C-alpha cells in the first residue's frame, strides 16, 4: 500500500501536479547530500477518520543543539497526539520541536518522531518542510492512495484475543539462563515477558538486549504466522511505594522524565512500521495503582511513600499517559496490572480498585478504548485454583471466610478472582470485551507439600490450611517464596473471560535481594526479602517466607529456579 514520491525542494526546480503531489527533478544527478536536510514522512496506518505517521529528519548541515521542523497541510488534517517531539498546530501549520533527550542533531544525523492525526476527505502529504527555516526535500514513502485498502493493523482491526492462534515470543536471554540449569531445557522454550524496568533498558543495559533487538528477534521467530511479544512497562516515578526491593530510578515528582525519556521513546520504537506485523502486549505498571487503595491514609498498612504518590497523582497520570501513547500504536494491546486476589479481593478494596483503574484509564488523554484488558498475579504466587475448599464451605459452624488464611476475603484463588474482577471492571465502565491474563509463572505449588485433598474438619483453620495448595505462610508474602513451583504453562483462552495464562515474570529472576546490595538501578532493600524478617501489617506480622541468598530483583537466582522446577504443577516430565 506504499507509493513513493520524491521532491527535492532546495536548489532544484519544483514541478507540481494538479493534485498538489510533488515529483522529483534532479538535473545532473544531484544527491541528497546537496540539500541542507531531508524529511521522510510516512503515513503508516490510515482509516476512515484518522491516521498515524512517522517522520525522520536528516540534517546535512552544521550540527544543531536544538531543532524545529515545520509544515502545513493542504486539507483539514489535525495532529491529535504525538511522541518523540513537541507538536503544536495553528490552523494548517504544524511545528515539531525537539524533546530534551533528542535535541542534539549532528551533521549527517537523523531524528525520528511520530504522531496520530485526524482528517476528512483527502490526506495529502505536505508539499514542503522546513528545518529551522531552511527548506528540506521530502520522500513521503507511504501515502496511501484513494484506492488503497485500509492497513490491516489499524485500530479497528485489533483481534479480540491477541494470543489466539499466535505463537508467543521466547526471550533468548531468559531461555539461555533456563537451559543452563540442570533439567532447564524442559521449559527453556517457554515464552516470558521482557521487563523494561528503567530507561537504559530501552536501548539495552548491562550487556542485555534492548527493545529493538527483542523486536527484531521476534520478527525472526514469527515466520509466516502470528506472534505475540510481551513487554512489561515498569518505571513509574516513585515506583512500588510499598516495596523497597523494586523501587526505581525516577523520583516521586519526575513525571516529566517518565513521559519524555521512558514512554515516548518506547512508543517511537513500537510505532516503527517494521514491527507492525507483531502483536505487542504491554503489561502496564505492576503493583502501582492498588497501592493507592490499600497502602494510604489511615489504614494500618499505609506507608508514607504511597501517601506521597496518592497526593501528587503521578501514578494515575503516568498510567494514563502510558495507556494513551502506547494505545495509539495499532498493534499494541494494553493490559493494566490488577494486583491479585490476596491484595484486592476484599470488599473494601474490590470496588475502589476498579474505580481507580477507570480514573487512570481516562487520565492524560487516555480512554477505556486504550485498555484491552487486565493482568492479575503478575510476579506473585497466588494459586490458580484451590480445589479443596470454596468460599461457600462451612466447617465447625464457621464459614471458610472466617479462617485465618482467607480472613474474610471473597476469593480464594486467582481464577475466580480474575473472572469476578473482570465483571466489576465492566460495571465500572470498561468495555465488555476486555480479557484477563493470569501470571502462572510461579503459582503451581506442586511437589511433596501439595495437599491431595481437604484438610481435617476439626476447625475451619485446619480445614483450609490442610487443603490449600498455596503453601505460603501468609498471602501477603511476595518475595522469593520458599516452596513455590512453576504453574500452568502459557496457554491461550484457557477459561471464560481469560485471554491467556502467561509467564509474565520470568521464572528464576529474583524478586529482591535478601540483604542490602549497592547498585545503580535505584533498587532498595526490602525486609520482606529477608528470610529472618518477622513481618509488618501488610502480611499480618508473619515471617516473610523468603529464600536466602537472593540477588537483586531481576537478576538470575539459580536456587529459586531449581526449586520452581522441582515443585512445578503440572509436574515437569
- Long-range interactions of 537-540: CB distance < 8 A, separation 24+: 537/300, 537/301, 538/242, 538/295, 538/301, 538/476, 539/473, 539/474, 539/476, 539/477, 540/407, 540/474, 540/476
- Report the residue count for the chain: 573
> Are the beta carbons of 212 and 521 closer than 8 angstroms?
no
> Are the beta carbons of 151 and 482 closer than 8 angstroms?
no
Q: Name which of 154, 172, 437 is nearest 282 in CA terms.
A: 437
| Residue 298 CB-density burial (10 A; 0-12 exposed, 13-18 middle, 19+ buried) | exposed
For the record, the C-alpha cell of 212 comes out as 529493538
**DSSP symbol at 184:** G
HSE, side-chain direction, 13 A CA sphere, residue 148: 19
| Residue 512 CB-density burial (10 A; 0-12 exposed, 13-18 middle, 19+ buried) | buried
The answer to whether 511 is a known catalytic residue is: yes
Distances (CA, A) of 392 to 355, 407, 410: 27, 14, 9
Identify the active-site residue in 240, 511, 526, 530.
511
Distance from C-alpha of 226 to C-alpha of 157, rounded to nearest angstrom = 14
Distance from C-alpha of 268 to C-alpha of 284, rounded to nearest angstrom = 17
For the record, the C-alpha cell of 5 comes out as 514520491
Rg (CA), the chain: 26
For the record, the C-alpha cell of 488 comes out as 500452568
For the record, the C-alpha cell of 150 comes out as 485500509
Distances (CA, A) of 465 to 112, 217, 433, 459, 461: 57, 45, 37, 10, 6
- Helix H, strand E, coil C: the string for 349-385 is HHHHHHHHHHHHHCCCCCCHHHCCEEEECCCCCCCCC
Identify the active-site residue in 139, 287, 337, 413.
287
Distance from C-alpha of 208 to C-alpha of 404, rounded to nearest angstrom = 44
Residues 467-479, buried b or exposed e (16+ Cβ, 10 A)?
bbbbbbbbbbbbb
For the record, the C-alpha cell of 165 comes out as 492462534
Interior angle at CA 437, CA 233 and CA 150, nearest 5:
75
Tally of CB atoms within 10 A around 26: 14
For the record, the C-alpha cell of 479 comes out as 518475595
The answer to whether 216 is a known catalytic residue is: no
Catalytic residues: 287, 511
Amino acid at each position: 500500500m506504499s507509493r513513493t514520491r520524491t521532491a527535492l525542494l532546495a536548489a532544484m526546480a519544483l514541478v507540481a501536479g494538479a493534485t498538489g503531489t510533488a515529483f522529483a527533478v534532479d538535473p545532473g544527478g544531484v544527491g541528497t547530500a546537496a540539500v541542507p536536510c531531508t524529511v521522510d514522512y510516512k503515513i503508516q496506518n490510515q482509516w476512515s477518520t484518522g491516521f498515524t505517521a512517522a517522520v525522520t529528519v536528516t540534517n546535512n548541515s552544521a550540527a544543531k543543539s536544538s531543532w524545529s521542523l515545520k509544515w502545513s497541510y493542504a486539507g483539514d488534517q489535525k495532529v491529535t497526539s504525538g511522541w518523540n517531539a513537541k507538536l503544536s498546530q495553528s490552523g494548517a501549520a504544524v511545528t515539531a520541536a525537539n524533546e530534551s533527550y533528542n535535541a542534539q542533531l549532528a551533521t549527517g544525523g537523523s531524528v525520528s518522531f511520530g504522531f496520530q492525526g485526524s482528517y476528512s476527505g483527502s490526506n495529502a502529504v505536505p508539499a514542503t518542510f522546513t528545518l529551522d527555516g531552511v527548506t528540506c526535500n521530502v520522500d513521503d514513502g507511504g501515502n496511501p492512495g484513494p484506492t488503497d485498502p485500509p492497513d490491516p493493523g489499524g485500530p479497528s482491526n485489533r483481534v479480540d484475543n491477541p494470543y489466539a492462534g499466535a505463537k508467543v515470543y521466547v526471550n533468548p536471554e531468559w531461555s539461555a539462563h533456563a537451559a543452563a540449569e540442570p533439567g532447564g531445557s524442559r521449559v527453556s522454550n517457554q515464552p516470558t515477558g521482557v521487563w523494561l524496568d528503567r530507561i537504559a533498558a530501552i536501548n539495552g543495559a548491562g550487556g542485555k538486549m534492548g527493545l529493538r533487538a527483542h523486536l527484531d528477534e521476534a520478527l525472526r521467530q514469527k515466520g509466516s504466522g502470528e506472534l505475540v511479544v510481551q513487554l512489561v512497562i515498569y518505571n513509574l516515578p516513585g515506583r512500588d511505594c510499598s516495596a523497597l526491593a523494586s523501587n526505581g530510578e525516577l523520583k516521586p515528582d519526575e513525571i516529566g522524565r517518565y513521559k519524555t525519556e521512558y514512554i515516548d521513546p518506547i512508543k517511537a520504537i513500537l510505532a516503527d512500521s517494521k514491527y507492525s506485523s507483531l502483536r505487542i502486549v504491554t503489561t502496564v505498571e505492576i503493583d502501582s495503582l492498588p497501592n493507592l487503595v490499600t497502602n494510604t491514609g489511615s489504614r494500618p498498612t499505609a506507608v508514607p511513600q504511597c501517601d506521597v504518590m496518592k497526593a501528587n497523582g503521578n501514578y494515575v497520570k503516568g498510567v494514563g499517559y502510558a495507556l494513551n501513547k502506547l494505545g495509539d500504536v495499532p498493534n499494541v494491546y494494553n493490559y493494566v496490572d490488577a494486583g491479585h486476589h490476596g491484595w484486592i479481593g476484599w470488599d473494601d478494596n474490590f470496588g475502589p480498585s476498579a474505580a481507580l483503574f477507570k480514573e487512570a484509564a481516562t487520565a492524560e488523554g487516555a480512554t477505556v478504548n486504550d485498555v484491552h484488558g487486565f493482568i492479575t498475579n503478575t510476579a506473585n504466587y497466588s494459586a490458580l485454583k484451590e480445589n479443596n475448599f470454596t468460599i461457600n464451605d462451612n466447617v465447625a459452624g464457621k464459614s471458610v471466610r472466617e479462617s485465618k488464611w482467607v480472613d474474610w476475603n471473597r476469593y480464594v484463588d486467582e481464577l475466580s478472582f480474575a473472572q469476578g474482577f473482570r465483571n466489576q471492571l465492566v460495571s465500572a465502565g470498561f468495555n465488555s470485551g476486555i480479557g484477563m491474563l493470569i501470571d502462572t509463572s510461579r503459582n503451581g505449588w506442586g511437589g511433596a507439600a501439595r495437599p491431595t485433598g481437604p484438610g481435617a474438619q476439626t476447625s475451619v483453620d485446619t480445614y483450609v490450611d490442610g487443603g490449600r495448595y498455596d503453601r505460603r505462610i501468609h498471602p501477603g508474602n511476595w518475595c522469593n517464596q520458599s516452596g513455590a513451583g512453576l504453574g500452568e504453562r502459557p496457554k491461550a483462552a484457557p477459561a471464560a473471560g481469560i485471554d491467556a495464562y502467561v509467564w509474565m515474570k520470568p521464572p528464576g529472576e529474583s524478586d529482591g535481594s535478601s540483604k542490602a546490595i549497592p547498585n545503580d538501578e535505584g533498587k532498595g532493600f526490602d525486609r520482606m526479602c529477608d528470610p529472618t524478617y518477622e513481618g509488618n501489617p501488610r502480611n499480618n506480622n508473619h515471617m516473610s517466607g523468603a529464600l536466602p541468598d537472593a540477588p537483586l530483583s531481576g537478576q538470575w537466582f539459580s536456587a529459586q529456579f531449581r526449586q520452581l522446577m522441582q515443585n512445578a504443577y503440572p509436574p515437569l516430565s
